[in-house]
């Protein structure tokens, strides 16, 4: 189906969106052979601003590394051969049939991604349950936002990353960012911080590193990695002690407060200091900021007056720094407790939200590519949900499988007795992005059949048996749901190279070859309409959203622009408060691994780097290790000199960057290249199954002394991977 394209002020331009992060900045694309990016000033989320990744996004198009023919790999020789689409798909279908003949429906797994459009995420979930009949589907968003999602559902009965527009940040009095470096990860969003501070508001940033976001803060706290939860307990302790909690709100809009109040009784500031490393006086300063009447804040944007003249409006936003932990769900619940205790959730300019990471991190978790989920954010173990979705799909409810394994558990089971022996990967570069990556790569290599759909030969595609070249970004139309729950339309603006197909075509073609009981649509707008019907009546109901509305309204919020103003999504309308305990990181420093390792992103790269590392306009400096001068002095290294970082799972060597912005007991490595995730810990959060990407115990040595060190203790050194 051909879609009408929105013309821009410059003739021939198409209004579309950035291929990368969850802000989904609006942009215009013009020129088909050599596309150019220009500003789309009218799109409200970014008002024409883009970061350097967005401005250089057209560099993705037409690169020499682009795959344009299906490839199959000879396992004996490792040689790749180009084959026709018919041959490639037949080989995949044969492999699927062989695996399922041997091991039943669950012998085939599907792994999706948080960058896939809503239409693809929906089709992939349907394909797994209907065409393959497998329960074994999950996606890399499990590694990104699942702890916040789990906490949001428990506390509010609903998970929408931000339950309000991002611009509401400008209307708060005190913004608390826990584990977010938005000035680098989504720079256009940082203007809201600047405008908030210009009107007298305060910004608090909590991060083990002093980042460019921390540089914009009135109070920047650098806790020991993995201790954000303890800080939240200490803050709530002080709010209770000072009588700053909103008793009326707690009584009328929440349940569970008495147990929460008891649970923070012993978290006095000095105890918080011992656990977090943050000075007790700074813990008090934070609590005072959250409870002191605003003095110089001026009204903006016509926000409605509230009864909050005597106390500040407070907004707490968490991101991966707080969430990617084995205690991530509880950490988010602890910060939600702070926002609820202050009576802020549902108040315009206040509340709690999660800053989603991946481009379609929100929509990707709503429409059925999660192991426990059906479209519309329905639970797959809910009989009514199964009946509704099966009705839309034209199959019997009993034919749908039940819940499958979560992302890491699924990958960990590949090629084992009882685990899948074949897997199809869409929109994910697992070899770079999985925790404990050397182990997970060995599991991928143990499969009888690995199929990867990608636009380039990613590190994961490179070990596949079949690689299917697919369209990307503005070569196709589809919807994404940004971090605010705003459904946007990424319009087709470029002609794909000949030889590539859409993921939607691949799914439909494979379904037909596998004698699926029902056909699969391939036109995005048709798939979206079906998604709308399947989601109707569910927590994330898209049934009234159309491509036409999205174009006319510049995005449509599912569920409404602002949520929770008068009630939460539990049956009694109340938010739930949970008493949570600080447990700390799963792996604590010891004599062999005395340093905390934390990981994250840099401005010029995105996720596993499969796209940005191939964009010439973006600097690719490779990985590095941020080291504090005190640690660097002990190691005897200077900036640029190689250091070796080892954990119980692996080791890597990269140049040191000696900076005063990191804690002396912590090192930081960006995860866009192979290496960092060979080190990270695969301990899982018990509620969300999120791995602990953000902290583990490490040893750091100067490479100059490495030969001597290894020679002295080879039998004790558990490091096995280079």
Q: Contact positions toward ligand SF4, by CB under 6 A?
A: 18, 20-21, 23-25, 46, 50-51, 53-54, 186-188
As measured in angstroms, the least distance from the Cβ of 607 to ligand SF4 is: 10
Pairing label, strands 696-702, 642-646: antiparallel
As measured in angstroms, the least distance from the Cβ of 11 to ligand SF4 is: 24
As measured in angstroms, the least distance from the Cβ of 683 to ligand SF4 is: 29
As measured in angstroms, the least distance from the Cβ of 64 to ligand SF4 is: 23
d(CA 348, CA 163): 10
For residue 594, is it left (φ>0), alpha (ψ between -120 and 50) or beta?
A: alpha
As measured in angstroms, the least distance from the Cβ of 100 to ligand SF4 is: 39
Nearest CB to ligand SF4, comparing residues 54 and 269:
54
Helices (H), 52-137: 52-55, 85-103, 118-126
Nearest CB to ligand SF4, comparing residues 188 and 214:
188
As measured in angstroms, the least distance from the Cβ of 361 to ligand SF4 is: 12
Nearest CB to ligand SF4, comparing residues 24 and 569:
24
Beta-carbon count within 10 A of 469 CB: 26
Beta bridge partners of 626: 657, 668
Beta-carbon count within 10 A of 475 CB: 18
Show the tokens assigned to 424.
């199809």
As measured in angstroms, the least distance from the Cβ of 65 to ligand SF4 is: 20
Nearest CB to ligand SF4, comparing residues 22 and 337:
22
> Across 414-459, where does the E strand assignment appear?
422-426, 449-454
d(CA 482, CA 356): 8
H or E segment and range at residue 15: strand 14-17
d(CA 600, CA 602): 7
Nearest CB to ligand SF4, comparing residues 355 and 595:
355
For residue 256, is it left (φ>0), alpha (ψ between -120 and 50) or beta?
A: left
3-state helix, strand, coil in the chain (%, to 5): 35, 15, 50
Nearest CB to ligand SF4, comparing residues 39 and 110:
39
Beta bridge partners of 317: 177, 353
As measured in angstroms, the least distance from the Cβ of 212 to ligand SF4 is: 13
d(CA 400, CA 81): 37
d(CA 59, CA 613): 11
Nearest CB to ligand SF4, comparing residues 50 and 556:
50
d(CA 486, CA 162): 10
Angle formed by the axes of helices 228-241 and 269-276, to 10°?
Answer: 170
Show the tokens assigned to 626.
């941020």
- The SS3 assignment for 643 reads strand
Nearest CB to ligand SF4, comparing residues 227 and 612:
612
C-alpha neighbours within 13 Å on the C-beta side of residue 375: 33
As measured in angstroms, the least distance from the Cβ of 608 to ligand SF4 is: 15
Pairing label, strands 422-426, 378-379: unpaired
Nearest CB to ligand SF4, comparing residues 356 and 522:
356
d(CA 685, CA 691): 6
Residues 6+ apart with CB under 8 A from 236: 260, 264, 267, 334, 337, 338, 341
H or E segment and range at residue 551: helix 547-553
Helices (H), 128-246: 146-156, 182-185, 190-198, 228-241
Nearest CB to ligand SF4, comparing residues 89 and 483:
483
Show the tokens assigned to 82.
């180009």
Nearest CB to ligand SF4, comparing residues 51 and 340:
51
- The SS3 assignment for 407 reads helix
As measured in angstroms, the least distance from the Cβ of 601 to ligand SF4 is: 10
Nearest CB to ligand SF4, comparing residues 476 and 509:
476
Contact 103, 375 (CB under 8 A): no
Q: What is the CA angle 556-57-184, rounded to 5? A: 80
As measured in angstroms, the least distance from the Cβ of 140 to ligand SF4 is: 17
As measured in angstroms, the least distance from the Cβ of 187 to ligand SF4 is: 6
Residue number, nearest CB to ligand SF4: 54
Beta-carbon count within 10 A of 703 CB: 16
Contact 16, 28 (CB under 8 A): yes
As measured in angstroms, the least distance from the Cβ of 395 to ligand SF4 is: 37
d(CA 297, CA 250): 26
As measured in angstroms, the least distance from the Cβ of 17 to ligand SF4 is: 7
As measured in angstroms, the least distance from the Cβ of 53 to ligand SF4 is: 4
Nearest CB to ligand SF4, comparing residues 494 and 580:
494
Nearest CB to ligand SF4, comparing residues 47 and 592:
47
Nearest CB to ligand SF4, comparing residues 211 and 699:
211
Nearest CB to ligand SF4, comparing residues 135 and 482:
482
d(CA 71, CA 461): 10
d(CA 208, CA 217): 14
As measured in angstroms, the least distance from the Cβ of 57 to ligand SF4 is: 7
Nearest CB to ligand SF4, comparing residues 188 and 375:
188
As measured in angstroms, the least distance from the Cβ of 23 to ligand SF4 is: 4
Largest CA distance in the chain: 74
H or E segment and range at residue 535: helix 524-535
């Amino acid at each position: 189906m051909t879609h009408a394209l929105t013309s821009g002020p410059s003739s021939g331009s198409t209004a579309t969106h950035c291929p990368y992060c969850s802000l989904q900045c609006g942009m215009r694309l013009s020129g088909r052979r050599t596309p150019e990016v220009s500003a789309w000033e009218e799109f409200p989320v970014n008002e024409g601003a883009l970061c350097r990744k967005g401005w250089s996004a057209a560099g993705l198009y037409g690169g020499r590394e682009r795959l344009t023919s299906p490839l199959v790999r000879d396992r004996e020789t490792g040689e790749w051969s180009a084959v026709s689409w018919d041959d490639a798909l037949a080989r995949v279908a044969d492999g699927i049939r062989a695996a399922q003949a041997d091991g039943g429906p669950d012998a085939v797994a599907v792994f999706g991604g948080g960058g896939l459009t809503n239409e693809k995420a929906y089709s992939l979930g349907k394909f797994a349950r209907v065409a393959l009949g497998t329960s074994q589907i999950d996606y890399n968003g499990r590694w990104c936002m699942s702890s916040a999602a789990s906490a949001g559902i428990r506390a509010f009965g609903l998970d929408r990353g931000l339950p309000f527009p991002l611009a509401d940040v400008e209307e708060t009095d005190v913004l608390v960012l826990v584990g977010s470096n938005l000035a680098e990860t989504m720079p256009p969003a940082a203007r809201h911080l600047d405008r908030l501070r210009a009107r007298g508001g305060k910004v608090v940033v909590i991060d083990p590193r002093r980042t460019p976001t921390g540089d914009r803060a009135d109070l920047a706290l650098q806790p020991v990695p993995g201790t954000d939860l303890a800080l939240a307990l200490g803050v709530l302790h002080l709010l209770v002690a000072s009588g700053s909690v909103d008793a009326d709100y707690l009584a009328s809009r929440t349940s569970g407060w008495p147990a929460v109040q008891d649970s923070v009784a012993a978290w006095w500031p000095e105890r918080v200091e011992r656990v977090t490393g943050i000075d007790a006086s700074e813990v008090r300063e934070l609590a005072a900021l959250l409870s002191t009447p605003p003095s110089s804040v001026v009204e903006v944007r016509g926000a409605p007056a509230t009864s909050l003249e005597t106390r500040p409006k407070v907004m707490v936003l968490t991101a991966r720094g707080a969430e990617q932990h084995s205690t991530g769900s509880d950490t988010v619940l602890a910060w939600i407790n702070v926002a609820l205790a202050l009576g802020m959730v549902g108040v315009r300019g206040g509340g709690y939200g999660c800053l989603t990471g991946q481009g379609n991190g929100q929509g990707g978790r709503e429409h059925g590519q999660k192991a426990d989920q059906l479209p519309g954010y329905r639970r797959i173990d809910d009989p009514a949900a199964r009946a509704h979705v099966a009705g839309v799909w034209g199959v019997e409810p009993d034919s749908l499988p039940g819940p499958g394994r979560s992302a890491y558990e699924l990958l960990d089971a590949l090629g084992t007795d009882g685990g899948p022996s074949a897997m199809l990967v869409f929109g994910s570069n697992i070899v770079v992005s999985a925790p404990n990556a050397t182990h997970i790569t060995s599991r991928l290599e143990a499969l009888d059949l690995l199929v990867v759909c990608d636009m380039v030969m990613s590190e994961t595609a490179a070990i596949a048996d079949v690689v299917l070249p697919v369209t990307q970004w503005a070569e196709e139309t589809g919807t994404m749901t940004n971090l605010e729950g705003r459904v946007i339309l990424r319009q087709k603006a470029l002609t794909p190279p000949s030889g590539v197909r859409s993921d939607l075509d691949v799914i439909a073609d494979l379904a037909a070859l596998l004698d699926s009981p029902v056909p699969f649509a391939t036109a995005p707008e048709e798939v979206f309409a079906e998604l709308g019907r399947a989601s109707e009546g569910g927590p994330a109901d898209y049934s009234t959203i159309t491509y036409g509305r999205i174009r006319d309204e510049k995005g449509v919020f599912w569920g409404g622009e602002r949520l929770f103003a008068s009630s939460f999504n539990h049956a009694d309308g109340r938010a739930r408060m949970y008493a949570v305990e600080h447990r700390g990181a799963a792996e604590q420093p010891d004599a062999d691994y005395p340093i905390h390792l934390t990981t994250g992103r840099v401005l010029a790269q995105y996720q596993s780097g499969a796209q940005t590392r191939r964009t010439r306009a973006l600097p690719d400096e490779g990985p590095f290790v941020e080291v504090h001068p005190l640690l660097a002095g002990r190691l005897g290294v200077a900036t640029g000199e190689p250091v070796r970082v080892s954990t119980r799972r692996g080791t890597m060597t990269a140049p040191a960057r000696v900076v005063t912005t990191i804690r002396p007991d912590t090192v930081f490595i960006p995860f866009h290249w192979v290496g960092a995730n060979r080190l990270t810990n695969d301990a899982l959060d018990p509620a969300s199954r999120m791995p602990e990407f953000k902290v583990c115990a490490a040893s750091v040595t100067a490479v100059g002394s490495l030969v001597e060190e290894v020679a002295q203790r080879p039998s004790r050194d558990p490091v096995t991977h280079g």
